Amino acid sequence: MAMKAPASSSYVLLAPLALLLVAAVVFLLPSLNGAHVGSDGLGVDLCARRSAGAGAEGYTVLAKEEEEEKEKPELSLLVGVLTTPKRYERRDIVRLAYTLQPAAARARVDVRFVFCRVEDPVDRQLVALEAMRHGDVVELACEENMNHGKTHAYLSSVPRLFAADPYDYVMKTDDDTYLRVAALVDELRRKPRDDVYLGYGYAMGGQPMPFMHGMGYVVSWDVASWVSTAEEILARNDTEGPEDLMVGKWLNLAGRGRNRYDLKPRMYDLSWDMDNFRPDTIAVHTLKDNRRWAAAFSYFNVTAGIKPHHLP
Ligand SMILES: *[C@@H]1O[C@H](CO)[C@@H](O)[C@H](O)[C@H]1NC(C)=O
Ligand SMILES: *[C@@H]1O[C@H](CO)[C@@H](O)[C@H](O)[C@H]1NC(C)=O
């Protein structure tokens, strides 16, 4: 599991098609094997349990048993949480938020934390530990950024990274979004598996169709595959700019993502006063500090089942 970083910068922006062959480095620690064995829970959860197990042989046995007892999934979803290496505390909270959710029935859902290259030597060590423990980290060959091509690097790397076992849907979300995976999966069950672009729709002047807000959006696998080969996006420098708006522009210009679904009001920004949570939430965004995460866990009864223990 070498953490290898391509030597020169800006591959993805400058010459992605050839260089994408080396553009992404993934920490495929126990999770990928595990998660591809027909899990129907969240990948992170499975990873954690496997990592905590006795060793490689233990994993194999557990995976086989799980495979036998699971029904065939109706759909599969890769959730990429775009974050940056130094956000350890946030990532911890987000990872727990995913791990402790009830699994989505009859679905294969894997969650990965996505960075550009981890340059800092200290971060390389610490992120390597996370990768060893959780196996849920993906490092892309880009320089860390938000609106200079990271989303493009992500969407265009995924089809190749997971070519052996593609997902039906690929999601991009952020580390200030609390995503309720089962609610999203239930929404996706009834949707087509092709040409999908779904999220919090945002109409922009001049654009024929809404784009999806960066808090979290889903494209079907064919759309991600198209992005990975669409030279026109790069020729127009359309990786530069607000990432969510740009994704909408690529798809609009190419006539892609025509199965477009706006999940407002079930996706929303949390208000300043934190008083607009709703029980049917799919995703709530702007959880920018621990207080707001705590409010979300409280509202959604995440910790409600825990019993107090009193010392004798
Ligand atoms: C894209 O950006 C590069 C570098 O900034 C610039 O040289 C080039 O002219 C731009 N191309 C277009 C089509 O805007
Ligand atoms: C949380 O639990 C309370 C008490 O059981 C219940 O009334 C409420 O609907 C639950 N909230 C959500 C979001 O499920």
Pocket test for ligand 1, best of 237, 239, 246, 253 (most atoms within 8 A of CB): 237
Q: Is the pTM of this model over 0.95?
A: no
Q: Are residues 58 and 31 in the same domain?
A: no
Q: Is residue 93 part of a domain?
A: yes
Q: Which residue has tokens 């052996």?
A: 164
113 vs 307, residue with greater confidence? 113
CA dist list (Å): 95 to 42, 79, 81, 83, 267: 11, 12, 10, 12, 20
The whole domain housing 58 covers 38-72
Q: Is residue 10 part of a domain?
A: no
pLDDT at 226: 98
Cβ contacts of 61-64, under 8 Å, gap ≥ 24:
63/33, 63/34, 63/37, 64/37
pLDDT at 48: 33
Terminal C-alpha separation, the chain: 47
Rg from Cα positions in the chain: 19
Arithmetic mean of pLDDT, 126-147: 92
With 0-12 / 13-18 / 19 or more C-beta atoms within 10 angstroms meaning exposed / middle / buried, residue 31 is buried
Closest atom of ligand 1 to 236 CA is 13
Q: Are residues 237 and 114 in the same domain?
A: yes
pLDDT at 123: 97
Q: Is residue 188 part of a domain?
A: yes
Q: Are residues 64 and 195 in the same domain?
A: no
Eight-class DSSP state of 7: S
How many folded domains does the chain comprise? 2
Q: Considering only CA atoms, which residue is closest to atom 5 of ligand 1? A: 237
Q: Are residues 58 and 142 in the same domain?
A: no
Q: List, in sequence order, every residue forming a beta bridge with 276; answer none if it has no partner.
A: none
Arithmetic mean of pLDDT, 125-152: 92
Residue 249: CATH number of its domain? 3.90.550.10
Q: Are residues 141 and 255 in the same domain?
A: yes
Q: Name the nearest CA neighbour of 261 among 205, 305, 311, 220.
A: 220
Q: What's the mean per-residue pLDDT of the chain? A: 82
Q: Is residue 304 part of a domain?
A: no
Q: In what order do the strands lie in the sheet with 283-285?
A: 177-179, 283-285, 267-269
Arithmetic mean of pLDDT, 212-237: 96
Q: Considering only CA atoms, which residue is closest to atom 4 of ligand 1? A: 237
Q: Is residue 292 part of a domain?
A: yes
pLDDT at 307: 84
Q: Are residues 158 and 271 in the same domain?
A: yes
Q: List, in sequence order, every residue forming a beta bridge with 216; answer none if it has no partner.
A: 173
- Residue 292 CA, ligand 1 centroid: distance in Å: 40
Q: Are residues 152 and 44 in the same domain?
A: no
Q: Does the pLDDT of residue 32 top 60, yes or no?
A: no
Q: Are residues 214 and 86 in the same domain?
A: yes
Closest atom of ligand 2 to 281 CA is 13
Q: Does the pLDDT of residue 61 top 60, yes or no?
A: no
The pLDDT-based confidence of 191 (bands split at 50, 70, 90) is very high
Q: Which amino acid is at 189?
A: R
CB 47 within 8 A of CB 136: yes
Q: Is residue 276 part of a domain?
A: yes
Q: Is residue 13 part of a domain?
A: no
Q: Name the nearest CA neighbour of 76 among 185, 219, 228, 216.
A: 185
The pLDDT-based confidence of 14 (bands split at 50, 70, 90) is very low
Q: How many residues does the chain have?
A: 312
Q: Are residues 102 and 236 in the same domain?
A: yes
Q: Are residues 64 and 192 in the same domain?
A: no
Q: Are residues 49 and 195 in the same domain?
A: no
Q: Which amino acid is at 17?
A: L
Q: Which amino acid is at 235?
A: A
Q: Are residues 91 and 55 in the same domain?
A: no
